Structure 1
Amino acid sequence: MLLTALLAVVVTAGVIVAVVLLRPAAPAPAGDPGVPPASDGAPHTPGVDCGDSACREIGAMTVGGLPVVLMADDAGKQGVVRIGSDTVYPLIVNDMGVTLKGDSLRCVDGVTPVCLVRGEVGGGSAGELFVARGGIWRDTGKPYFSDAGTIALNDVTADGIADVIVVRHECPGAQSGSARCQAAPVLAEVYDVARGSVGCTRRYTAPSELRGWPDVRLTKADLRACPQ
């Protein structure tokens, strides 16, 4: 009886081993051997920071066929400009203490597309210019400052390219921002984006007297030599 029981155990074990060996292997995952399958998740795009905070969009325009987006932190004190899908420019005017708002971005299409980022700063406004030449956008690297609080874009010289209009107090011998200077008449100086200053308007008692103010509109006929 004992021998019979032992033989039954041996036979049963042999059957189990045979079943395991003959069972089909689990199908291998598709793809190259040894390479884990690719994730089907969307690629992650790193965020753009404005200072120590994440950026939020506060203004956008389309110029030269490309989207131009102004982004800033919640306080509007640190901003960047994104042109196209992935080109980001930190703003020089951040260091001047500007406050960026929803109307800070202004772009004008033309033979040469131009964008201006402007914001309030102590004693006036500051602006930074971006120009596209040959399809390549560049920061001109020269901030503009208006102690009368107005910087605008308009094709004053009628060459198909927007010019920068800076309204300032005409106060020779007085410090910009001083009470004496703030009480002085104002004029608008016009800057060609390639050649620099091309002339000034006559003096006005207040900025609001300029045509179209605060989005000042001038023509070449309004210009004359700037005061020395």
Structure 2
Amino acid sequence: MARRMPRSVVVTALLCGVVTAASLAGAAVLKARSQRVATPPSTSVSVPPTTPSVGLSGCLREPCQVLASTTVAGTFVELIADAGATSGRLRIGGPSASQVIETTVTDLGVTLTATSLQCVPGSASACLIRGEGPDGMTGQVVVGRSDKWNAQERAYLSSAGLLVLNNVVSDSSPEVIAAQYDCKGNQVCDKRPVYAQVFGLSGQEIGCTRTYTRLEQLPGYPQVTVPSAQLRDCP
């Protein structure tokens, strides 16, 4: 006759089996959870393409450079050019400014330099951007009224190489003064007399001075201060 195992031994074995099975199941669950945490699902992140832009700095070609800066009527103004100084921007109000105005004289062959910027305050403040071009000193004017600045369409040309802003007419805004050779036809112009031609900020011709033997003889040279009473019709 087979010997019968005591009941207490059978119960103990069954309990051990249950505990072992529960332990194995718990280990499997923990392993699955750890795998999910350690290996996140793969995601595809698309990087937006970079598009070349000019931005506030004014550069078309890096590195940018600040050629000149000044303060006019409490507003900070900077002339910023690209690496070749053949394009640039007038940045008004500092690096965080929202007003950036493109230079147009560079489209006419002007290369910007450290002396390309002149600003004069007034009821209508103005900044002149100028430089040597194929036809002589060429400039554009940017006018500011009530913190709003706008580039004027007209380009100004000085055959004698002098283009400045100054107050000529008895008002509170500056005028554009361009020195010209009194030269016609096939004459050698740099040996000819010179005169100053005066324009309002909107581009209208106001008048001209008499002729002078040399450029340096213009009144107030190099800033040229011309009393409006001495202006006459231009040649």
What is the TM-score normalised by the length of structure 1? 0.76
- Once the two structures are superposed, residues 106-160 of structure 1 have per-residue CA deviations (whole angstroms, 9 ceiling, x without a partner) of 1111111111001112352111001123442111111101111100111011201
- Where does residue 198 of structure 2 map in the other structure? 190
Change (3 A) 1:18 1:141: closer
Partner amino acid for 1:190? V
Query: What letter corresponds to residue 192 of structure 1 in structure 2?
Result: G
In the alignment, which of 151, 156, 159 is matched to residue 147 of structure 1? Answer: 159
Q: Deviations over 1:61-106 (max 9, x none)?
A: 2223322211112222112112231222221111111121112111
The residue identity in structure 2 corresponding to 1:60 is S
Shift, 1:163, TM fit: 0.5
Per-residue deviation at 1:166? 0.3
CA–CA distance in structure 2, aligned partners of residues 111 and 142 of structure 1: 20
Aligned to 2:17: 6
Equivalent of residue 213 in structure 2, options 186, 202, 205: 205
Structure 1 segment 95-174 matched on structure 2, within 5 A = 95-172=107-184, 174=185
Instruction: Work out whether 1:81 is the aligned partner of 2:68.
Output: no
The 1:154–1:88 alpha-carbon spacing in structure 2 relative to 1, beyond 3 Å, is: same
Q: Unpaired segments of 5 or more residues in structure 2?
A: 1-11, 31-53
Contact 1:47 1:54 in 2 (8 A): no
Q: What is the rounded CA distance, in whole Å, between the counterparts of 2:61 and 2:83 in structure 1? A: 11
Q: State the identity as a percent.
A: 34
The farther-off stretch of 92-101 and 132-141 is: 132-141
User: Which amino acid is 2:208 matched to?
Assistant: C
User: Quick one: which amino acid aligns to residue 9 of structure 1?
Assistant: T
Write the distance in 2 (CA, Å) between the matches of 1:107 and 1:171: 30
Distance 1:149 1:217 in 2: 16
Tell me, what secondary structure is at the counterpart of 1:61? strand
Summarize the Cα distance change of 1:180–1:15 in structure 2 as closer, same or farther, 3 Å threshold: closer
Distance 2:210 2:55 in 1: 50
Structure 1 CA distance for aligned equivalents of residues 83 and 202 of structure 2: 34
Partners of 1:55 and 1:71 within 8 A in 2: yes
Q: Which range moved further: 217-226 or 112-121?
A: 217-226
**Code of the aligned partner of 1:161:** S
Root-mean-square deviation over aligned CA pairs: 2.8
For 2:68, the equivalent position in structure 1 comes to 59
Find the structure with the greater CA-based Rg: 2
Which residue matches 2:106?
A: 94
SS at 1:50 equivalent: coil
In structure 2, the partner of 1:23 is: none
Contact 1:116 1:130 in 2 (8 A): yes
- Residue identity matched to 1:71: I
**Which of 44, 59, 67 is the matching residue for 1:50?**
59
Call closer, same or farther: CA 1:9–1:102 in 2, change over 3 Å: same
Matched, 1:68 2:80: no
**Distance change (3 Å), C-alpha of 1:193 and 1:11:** closer
Partner of 2:33: none
2:188 alignment partner, SS class: helix
Tell me, yes or no, if the aligned pair for 2:128 and 2:165 is still in contact at 8 Å: yes
What is the rounded CA distance, in whole Å, between the counterparts of 1:15 and 1:196 in structure 2? 92
Indicate if the aligned counterparts of 2:61 and 2:83 stay in contact, CA closer than 8 A: no
